[in-house]
């Protein structure tokens, strides 16, 4: 121990230097270590900040905006790649907030196609149906000019052909016998009393006797007991009102004769067809009873009124009945191709571009100049239909680009986002269901445009039905109704006008009173 103390005393200076050096080294090492920890913390904080920024990005599906995730992936509904929500709204400040934005991939998947609104000449092709009718101007009703008894009848059946001047029957009439005697007496004094003679001849002429018949009576010494009734025109007997031995009075109908060398073709035109039809339009026609032959003619007359029951106006075409092939009441199919009157050119859009709500017509216009395609809801006022196109009266301008295919998918996306859409015309942040209305649909029996008007009017007559649209192709009636309206009432209202529904059967008398074109195949109920 003494030896150790002596050694320390001898080398204390060296020990002191080593101790100081150790303290200095420790201080420097601690400082460098702290600096490194600060830099490490900064790097960690940067990574955490980047991670937090990444977590703030919301990923969604362009076809199903209700899908929202905090990381990229695929839509669980359609398997499309999710896109950042910010990328769909980066132009939100530059376009209408109600515009529906869709990526190129979403547009391709939805099969959306667009077309440019342009002006063109509306040409309508109408397919009309009708019947052959006799020409009313070629009818002759033969009535008794004097009372008597039918002695002989040369016309034995309806449909018999006769020629003008051919005898139809013989009649015995006391009045005619007396008139003949007066003529024969007046003929003896015709030089001295010509007025009496002319009056006797005129009386017989007013009874539809020909000059030849009157002259023959005048030359005879005794009056004829039986006088022939002659056909006034050549044609076909379509009605025979008397039989042999019948007594007739003055004014009694005897025969009705019509000339069928020319006939009328009466086609039925609905109200929506009338703007396309004008006097002089060419009509191509074919008759099922005369296969392989077509007829053509011009519109000569259009009814000035709509029939209150069938809701149609009749369009008349006059044609020659060569060979008597055309018979009254034969069915005719006609095709009219014409331009709408007073409209040289008009804005035209395809029918596939239009969404119908019953009262409103909706299209989607592509917003120009956007990096991401966007479509905006637009209500339009439509004119008449021209084939597969409609005339646009208001709502669009020439050169605008509209969606013509996949329109319903665009509208569905707008509804999911709570934007202005077909079923939500007011738009807003809330989805359409918040307007306290419900959408429902069911099948209704019917055939034609008249059925469509009748069904929709019956549904809209109920308080609480906001819109009604019946599809002719599918027979489905789409409705927007108030939440407190029982759907059974709509079924009953539609059935009451003659159309079966999935729940209600129309009364038989009402169904049977429908126009012939509306007699659909009735539903079968279990």
Are 146 and 223 contained in the same domain? yes
Are 465 and 377 contained in the same domain? no
Give phi and psi for 490, each to the nearest 5: -70, -40
CB 251 within 8 A of CB 144: yes
126 in any annotated domain: no
CA 191 → CA 184, 186, 198, distances in Å? 13, 10, 11
pLDDT score of 34: 45
Buried b (16+ CB within 10 A) or exposed e, 188-227: eebeeeeeebeebbeebeebebeeebbeebbeeeebeeeb
* Sequential pLDDT tens for the chain (526 residues): 555 455 555 555 565 655 555 655 555 554 544 444 455 444 444 444 444 444 467 777 766 666 778 888 888 877 778 877 644 444 444 667 788 888 888 888 888 999 999 988 887 788 899 999 999 999 888 888 888 999 999 988 888 899 988 999 999 999 889 988 888 888 888 888 888 888 988 888 888 888 888 888 888 888 888 998 898 888 899 889 999 999 999 889 999 999 999 999 999 999 888 888 889 889 999 998 999 899 999 999 999 999 988 899 999 999 999 888 999 999 999 998 877 655 568 888 999 999 987 778 899 999 988 888 899 999 999 887 777 888 898 899 999 999 999 998 888 888 877 788 887 776 644 444 444 567 888 889 998 888 998 999 999 988 888 889 988 888 889 988 887 788 888 998 999 999 999 888 999 988 988 988 888 888 876 5
Helix 211-219 / helix 194-205 crossing angle, nearest 10 deg: 130
Tokens matching residue 101: 């934005």
Domain boundary among 258, 281, 314: 258
Are 34 and 65 contained in the same domain? no
pLDDT score of 405: 92
> What is the 8-class DSSP label of residue 260?
-
Are 218 and 279 contained in the same domain? no
Are 202 and 280 contained in the same domain? no
- How far apart (Å, rounded) are the C-alpha atoms in residues 329 and 39? 102
Domain boundary among 239, 258, 277: 258
pLDDT score of 264: 95
Q: Is the pTM of this model over 0.75?
A: no
pLDDT score of 283: 93
Are 201 and 141 contained in the same domain? yes
- How far apart (Å, rounded) are the C-alpha atoms in residues 318 and 280? 11
CA 116 → CA 54, 122, 313, 368, distances in Å? 41, 16, 36, 12
pLDDT score of 372: 84
420 in any annotated domain: yes
Are 451 and 406 contained in the same domain? no
125 in any annotated domain: no
521 in any annotated domain: yes
Sorted by sequence, the CB contacts under 8 Å of residue 419 that are 6+ apart come out as 97, 98, 99, 100, 377, 427
508 in any annotated domain: yes
- How far apart (Å, rounded) are the C-alpha atoms in residues 57 and 59? 6
Determine the straight-line distance between the first and last CA of the chain, rounded to whole angstroms: 120
Domain CATH code at residue 356: 2.40.420.20
316 in any annotated domain: yes
Are 148 and 200 contained in the same domain? yes
Sorted by sequence, the CB contacts under 8 Å of residue 57 that are 6+ apart come out as 70, 84, 85, 86
Matching residue, tokens 């069911």: 442
Long-range interactions of 26-31: CB distance < 8 A, separation 24+: none
> What is the 8-class DSSP label of residue 347?
E
Domain CATH code at residue 521: 3.30.70.100
Number of residues that this document lists for the chain:
526
| Pairing assessment for the beta strands 262-270 and 282-287 based on DSSP bridges | unpaired
Are 180 and 271 contained in the same domain? no
CB 113 within 8 A of CB 405: yes
pLDDT score of 364: 93
Domain boundary among 298, 320, 339: 339
Tokens matching residue 270: 């609905």
Question: In the chain, how long is the greatest CA-to-CA distance?
Answer: 203
Parent domain of 34: 2-55
- Number of structural domains (the chain) is 6
pLDDT score of 170: 92
Are 280 and 361 contained in the same domain? no
SS3 181: helix
112 in any annotated domain: yes
403 in any annotated domain: yes
Are 26 and 40 contained in the same domain? yes
The shares of helix, strand and coil residues in the chain, as percent rounded to the nearest 5, are 30, 30, 40
Domain CATH code at residue 322: 2.40.30.170
Are 265 and 367 contained in the same domain? no
Distance of CA 373 to the CA centre of its chain: 32
Matching residue, tokens 């009873």: 289
- How far apart (Å, rounded) are the C-alpha atoms in residues 148 and 303? 42
């Amino acid at each position: 121990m003494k030896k150790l103390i002596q050694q320390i005393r001898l080398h204390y200076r060296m020990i002191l230097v080593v101790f100081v050096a150790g303290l200095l080294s420790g201080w420097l090492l601690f400082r460098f270590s702290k600096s490194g920890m600060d830099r490490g913390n900064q790097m960690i904080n940067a990574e955490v900040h980047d991670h937090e920024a990444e977590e703030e990005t919301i990923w969604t599906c362009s076809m199903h905006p209700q899908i929202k995730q905090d990381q990229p992936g695929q839509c669980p509904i359609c398997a499309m790649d999710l896109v950042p929500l910010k990328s769909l709204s980066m132009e939100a400040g530059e376009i209408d907030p109600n515009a529906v934005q869709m990526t190129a991939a979403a547009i391709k998947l939805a099969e959306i196609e667009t077309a440019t609104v342009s002006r063109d000449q509306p040409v309508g092709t109408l397919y009309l149906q009708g019947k052959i009718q006799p020409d009313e101007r070629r009818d002759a009703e033969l009535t008794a000019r004097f009372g008597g008894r039918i002695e002989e009848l040369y016309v034995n059946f309806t449909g018999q052909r006769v020629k003008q001047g051919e005898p139809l029957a013989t009649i015995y009439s006391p009045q005619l016998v007396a008139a003949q005697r007066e003529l024969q007496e007046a003929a003896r004094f015709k030089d001295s009393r010509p007025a009496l003679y002319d009056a006797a001849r005129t009386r017989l002429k007013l009874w539809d006797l020909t000059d030849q018949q009157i002259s023959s009576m005048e030359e005879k010494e005794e009056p004829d007991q039986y006088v022939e009734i002659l056909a006034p025109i050549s044609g076909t007997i379509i009605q025979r009102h008397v039989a042999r031995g019948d007594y007739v009075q003055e004014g009694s109908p005897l025969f009705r004769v019509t000339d069928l060398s020319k006939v009328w073709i009466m086609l039925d035109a609905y109200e929506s067809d009338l703007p396309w039809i004008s006097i002089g339009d060419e009509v191509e026609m074919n008759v099922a009873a005369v296969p392989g032959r077509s007829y053509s003619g011009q519109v000569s007359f259009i009814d000035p009124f709509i029939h209150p029951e069938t809701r149609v106006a009749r369009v008349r075409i006059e044609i020659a009945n060569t060979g008597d092939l055309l018979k009254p009441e034969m069915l005719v199919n006609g095709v009219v191709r014409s331009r709408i009157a007073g409209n040289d050119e008009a804005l035209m859009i395809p029918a596939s571009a239009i969404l119908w709500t019953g009262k409103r017509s909706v299209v989607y216009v592509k917003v120009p100049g956007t990096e991401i395609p966007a479509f905006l809801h637009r209500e339009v006022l439509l004119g008449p239909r021209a084939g597969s196109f409609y005339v646009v009266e208001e709502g669009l301008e020439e050169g605008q680009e509209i969606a013509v295919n996949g329109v319903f998918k665009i509208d569905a996306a707008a509804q999911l986002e709570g934007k202005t859409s077909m079923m939500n015309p007011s738009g807003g942040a809330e989805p359409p269901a918040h307007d306290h209305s419900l959408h429902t649909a069911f099948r209704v029996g019917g055939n034609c445009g008249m059925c469509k008007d009748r069904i929709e009017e019956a549904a809209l007559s109920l308080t609480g039905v906001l819109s009604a649209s019946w599809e002719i192709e599918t027979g489905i009636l789409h409705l927007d109704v108030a939440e407190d309206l029982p759907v059974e009432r709509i079924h009953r209202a539609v059935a009451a006008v003659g159309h079966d529904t999935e729940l209600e059967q129309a009364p038989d008398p009402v169904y049977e009173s429908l126009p012939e074109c509306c007699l659909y195949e009735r539903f079968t109920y279990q």
